[in-house]
Amino acid sequence: MNIENIEAFVYVIHYGSFNKAAEVLYLSQPSVTARIQSLERELDCKLFDRWGKQTSLTEEGKRFLPYAQQLLQTLQKGKLQLQSKKAQPNELRIGCTVSVSQYIIPDILPALRKRYPDVHFKFKTAVTDEIIDKVLSEELDVGLVRNVQHPNLKSVKYYDDPIRLYVHKGHPLAEAPAPVLEDIGQYPLVFFECGALDWLRIHRLFEQLDHPPAIDFHTDNLEMAKKLVLTEAGICFLPSLCVRQEVRDGKLIPIDFPEVTGISLQTNLISLNGDSHFHQAFAELSSIVSPLLK
């Protein structure tokens, strides 16, 4: 049985379409279709029901899926075992998003250095999708990225960063005895959005208000959003880690609303499936992050 056909099958399911799977596998869409058809002939059953451009798994496809995933994972573990060195690698390649590189890495790096005094640390800052690709191609050893799941990756939650409204010192909301979410419509709003689904949840909260806030500034740059609040240009929902120093100094004030409780940015630790010494080391260091969120 051709392992590439099984890989195409798993990727189509993971990415939700033949076109996306073809893009990730660096193949044409007809090539992916041909691999699926070849696998169906080998298994003597239909794996997908097709109507127009839409597809769904057949009952046979659903039963075969866990075995296909296990085959790919076993192959990946075998590759890692053959490629592993007896001696500890002298370089640890870490991929991280911008916020992780700014607000987490400086805090966990001393502990990493203490644990691996002879290891050289190499950091790559990029968006989540790019880091995933580089971990899959073994250009990076571990990644700290947004919440993701992938059949060839070990992915575990590293920390949750609560999202709260922040205002500058002296703002009326900071002085109000019991502010409610409806109050934010009275003030200019800076909206930071990083593409995560949690920001969509914030937007949906606005739609429920009788007087939604006026978004005067919309940015995907976290530091810019924070500085606009500091310069009193507006108020902003921000992840807590990025403002902990300003809150400690009394320059920014968090405002809590029941409707926002539970909304957070989740960061996951990823590495290739199989035994990963560095993955375990990073997982143990996650305890350093928890006090930072208090």
* Confidence check: pLDDT of 196 > 60: no
* Confidence check: pLDDT of 228 > 90: yes
The answer to whether residues 19 and 35 belong to one domain is yes
Q: Tell me the pTM.
A: 0.65
Q: How many helices (H) and strands (E) does the chain have?
A: 12, 11
Tell me what pLDDT residue 54 has.
77
* Confidence check: pLDDT of 22 > 80: yes
The answer to whether residues 58 and 183 belong to one domain is no
Tens of pLDDT, residues 200-220: 778 788 888 888 888 888 888
The answer to whether residues 215 and 98 belong to one domain is yes
Tell me what pLDDT residue 275 has.
54
Distance from C-alpha of 138 to C-alpha of 136, rounded to nearest angstrom: 5
Average model confidence (pLDDT) across the chain: 85
DSSP string, 246-272: HHHTTSEEEE--GGGTT-EEEEEEEEE
CATH value at residue 17: 1.10.10.10
The answer to whether residues 208 and 262 belong to one domain is yes
Distance from C-alpha of 16 to C-alpha of 54, rounded to nearest angstrom: 10
Tens of pLDDT, residues 74-127: 887 777 666 554 444 578 889 999 889 998 888 888 888 887 788 888 999 998
The answer to whether residues 166 and 64 belong to one domain is no
Tell me what pLDDT residue 86 has.
42
Is residue 168 classed as helix, strand or coil in its secondary structure?
strand
Domain boundary among 83, 98, 120: 83
Instruction: Give buried/exposed letters for 68-94 (b at 16+ CB in 10 A, else e).
Output: bbeebbebbeeebeeeeeeeeeeebbb
Tell me what pLDDT residue 276 has.
61
Domain boundary among 49, 83, 117: 83
CATH value at residue 220: 3.40.190.290
The answer to whether residues 95 and 78 belong to one domain is no
Length of the chain in residues, anyone?
294
| pLDDT mean over 27-40 | 91
The answer to whether residues 272 and 290 belong to one domain is yes
The answer to whether residues 73 and 46 belong to one domain is yes
Full domain range(s) for residue 143: 89-294
The answer to whether residues 220 and 258 belong to one domain is yes
Nearest to 75 by CA among 2, 155, 149, 148: 2
The number of domains in the chain is 2
* Confidence check: pLDDT of 187 > 60: yes
The answer to whether residues 207 and 62 belong to one domain is no
Tens of pLDDT, residues 118-164: 888 899 999 888 999 999 888 898 999 988 888 888 888 888 889 99
The answer to whether residues 109 and 249 belong to one domain is yes
Q: Which residue has the higher pLDDT, 195 or 208?
A: 208
The answer to whether residues 205 and 74 belong to one domain is no
Which is it for strands 54-57 and 48-51: parallel, antiparallel or unpaired?
antiparallel
The percentage of the chain sitting over the pLDDT mark of 70, rounded to a whole number, equals 89
| pLDDT mean over 239-255 | 93
Lowest mean per-residue pLDDT among 43-47, 84-88, 286-290: 84-88
Sign of CA dihedral 102, 103, 104, 105: positive
* List of residues 6+ apart from 165 with CB closer than 8 A: 173, 184, 235, 236, 237, 254, 255, 256, 257, 260
Domain boundary among 37, 63, 83: 83
